[in-house]
Structure 1
C-alpha cells in the first residue's frame, strides 16, 4: 500500500476515496491551509453579462453575502469540471469552461469575438492569477491562510521515516505552508515524491530547488489518483 499525503483543506469526496482504496492507496490528510471570508460590498450584478468563477470556494464565499436566486440566471465562465459540476448542482444552466483550465485560459477565451463588449465580474481569492481585460472587475471574497494541522507530529514522523510515498501540493500556498510548518522541510521532501496539481504550483516547488515527480494533464485529484 502506498501512503499519500494530501495538504489541501478539503477532503476527497467519498467516491474518490473509494477508488483510492481500491487502488491500494492510503490517503492521509494534512490540511496546511484554511480559507476564511473577506467582507465585500455587494456588486451591482445587473452591470455584468458573465460571472467568472475559478473554484468552489469562490462560489461558497460569494453566496454567504449574495442570495443564490439573484445570480442563477447569470452566465458563468468556470475553471475545471469540478467547479462546473458544483455550479450545475446549485442550478446554474449556462456554464462555459475554457480549453485551458487556468486564468490564462479564461483570459484567452474572453478575447474571442463573441465576448466583445461584454462585462465580467471575476470572483476569486485574495491571492490568485490576474486576468487582463478592460471590461473585467475583480471581486475578492475569501483568503487562504496557513494552518498547522492537528496531526502535524504524526505526519512529520511518517515523512522522517520515509513512509510517505507521495505528497500532493494543490496550490503554491500548500507548499509554502509546508515550509513554514516543517522546519526540516528540505530533509522531509527529499524522503518522498512530490506531486503538484498544476504548473503554477510546480514552478513554486521548483523555484525552491525541489524536483516534481508528476503533474496531471488535467488539474484534478481524480487524474492524480487514476495515474498513481
Structure 2
C-alpha cells in the first residue's frame, strides 16, 4: 500500500489509504411500488436502502442504473436491469427518452444530488416520482484527516471534495484524480486534476499508481 495515495470514497482499496467520505443514514418512506414501470437507481446505497422493503414489492421492477457497478448491486439482490449508463447521472436522460412519456418512473435517491437529468426529463413531460432513501453526511474520518502536501488525492464524488475542503486545502504539490466531470466541477478553480478514463474507483487507482 502506498501511504501517499488517499482514496476519498465509500469503498476501499488495498492500494490506497481509504478515507470514508460519508456516513449514510437510511430512510424508509412509504412507497407503493405497484404504481411504477421502472426504477431509477444511481448508487449502491440506494440498493442497500431498498433491502429494508419487502423484496416481493419491487424486485420484478426493472431498474435503469447509473453504471454497470450499480447494476451489479441491484442484480445481486435479484433485481432486473432495464439498462445501465456510463457512470454519469446526467446521461441517463437518453435512456428515459427511449420510452414513451406515459412510462411511470420512480427515482430512488439521496437527499442531495448533483445531476439534473430528472428535472430535465420532467420539463420534457416524463412522469417521474422521487423518493429520498438516504441522507449522506460528512464522516468524522474525512473531517479529521490530514494529508502530506505531495500526496495523490482521489475524489469519487462531489461530496467527497466538499467534505475534504471543510477542514483541509489541496496543496499545489498534490496530484488530484477525480472519477468524472461532475466531480471535477466541485474542485477549486486553480486546482489541476486528471479525470479517470472510466468512472470507476479501479480506474482512478490505476492512474494514481502510474503517477507515483
Residue of structure 1 in register with 2:155 after alignment: 169
Q: 1:37 to 1:120 in 2, by over 3 A?
A: same
The answer on 1:36 being equivalent to 2:25 is yes
The answer on 1:141 being equivalent to 2:153 is no
Residue of structure 1 in register with 2:110 after alignment: 125
Asked whether the 8 Å contact 2:34–2:57 carries over to 1, the reply is: no
Residue of structure 2 in register with 1:94 after alignment: 81
SS in 2 for 1:149: helix
CA distance, structure 1, for counterparts of residue 148 and residue 28 of structure 2: 38
The answer on 1:202 being equivalent to 2:184 is yes
- Kindly state the Cα deviation for residue 95 of structure 1 after the two structures are TM-superposed: 3.4
Equivalent residues, number: 200
Residue of structure 2 in register with 1:211 after alignment: 192
SS in 1 for 2:164: helix
Asked whether the 8 Å contact 1:34–1:145 carries over to 2, the reply is: yes
- Cα RMSD (Å) of the superposition? 2.1
The answer on 1:48 being equivalent to 2:30 is no
Asked whether the 8 Å contact 2:21–2:142 carries over to 1, the reply is: no
- Kindly state the Cα deviation for residue 179 of structure 1 after the two structures are TM-superposed: 1.1
Q: Which runs of 5+ in 1 are unaligned?
A: 18-25
- Kindly state the Cα deviation for residue 171 of structure 1 after the two structures are TM-superposed: 0.9
- Kindly state the Cα deviation for residue 109 of structure 1 after the two structures are TM-superposed: 1.4
CA distance, structure 2, for counterparts of residue 224 and residue 174 of structure 1: 14
The list of structure 1 runs, each at least 4 consecutive aligned residues, that deviate by more than 4 angstroms after superposition, is none
1:83-126 deviation digits (Å, cap 9, x = unpaired)? 1111121112333113x4322211121112x3442100001101
SS in 2 for 1:224: helix
1:136-194 deviation digits (Å, cap 9, x = unpaired)? 01111111111221894xx52x414x3x2x10111111111111122xx14xx323111
TM-score under structure 2 length normalisation: 0.85
Asked whether the 8 Å contact 1:30–1:151 carries over to 2, the reply is: no
Q: Which runs of 5+ in 2 are unaligned?
A: none
Asked whether the 8 Å contact 2:22–2:136 carries over to 1, the reply is: yes
